[in-house]
Amino acid sequence: MYEIKLVGRAGQGVVTAANIIVYAAVVEGKFGCSLPHFGFEREGAPVVSYVRISNKKIRKKTRVYKPDCVVVFDENLLDLPDVLHHLKNGGTLIVNSTKTPAALNLSNNSKIKKLGIVDASGLALRYLDRPILSSPMLGAFVATTKIVRVESIVNRIQQLFGTKNSELVVKGYESTKIIEV
């Protein structure tokens, strides 16, 4: 089972992204489930959503305690103690940022094996004129993990949100810098 933790702020598309990852997994013949976790429901408040993907039925319906992958929609949330603390050794981190790993203070994190960095905010503002990050972050997720196919994500985004957003998935996919640590 592959477990994912998505962290961002309300209004950035964290819960939507989790649901689309699960949809893509199911379309590809896998099993998946997502579980959102909200604090105070207001725009800008931290939001976490958990995803599980497996080739077998998933019975667990709890939050993910030791994720294989953490997807961070807002680099400022990296400073929160619970964001990376429980990442599995050899895990994957995907972050929305324009900074280097050293500038993000990630160079000393021995748990991270693979790092994907994408300027999702810049892409979203350029394509949508709004900081809705689910599409470029989904592209970065697929580019970094290869857990689902980009076509599955693009098709679902096209169905739900149209051409601009589906193109934005591809831009996120293409512009993700992947670093093996």
**Cβ-count burial 115-139 (b if 16+ within 10 Å, e if not):** bbbbbbbebbeebbeebbbbbbbbb
Homologous superfamily assigned to 2-180 = Pyruvate-ferredoxin oxidoreductase, PFOR, domain III (3.40.920.10)
Q: What is the model's pLDDT at position 143? A: 98
- 82 vs 116, more confident: 116
Residue type, 1: M
Question: Which contiguous run of DSSP H or E holds residue 135?
Answer: helix 134-145
pTM of the model: 0.95
pLDDT-based confidence at 53, cuts 50/70/90? Answer: very high
The per-residue pLDDT for range 17-41, each reduced to its tens digit, is 999 999 999 999 999 999 998 766 6
pLDDT-based confidence at 109, cuts 50/70/90? Answer: confident
Compute the distance between CA of residue 55 and CA of residue 29 in angstroms, rounded to an integer: 8
Q: What is the model's pLDDT at position 145? A: 98
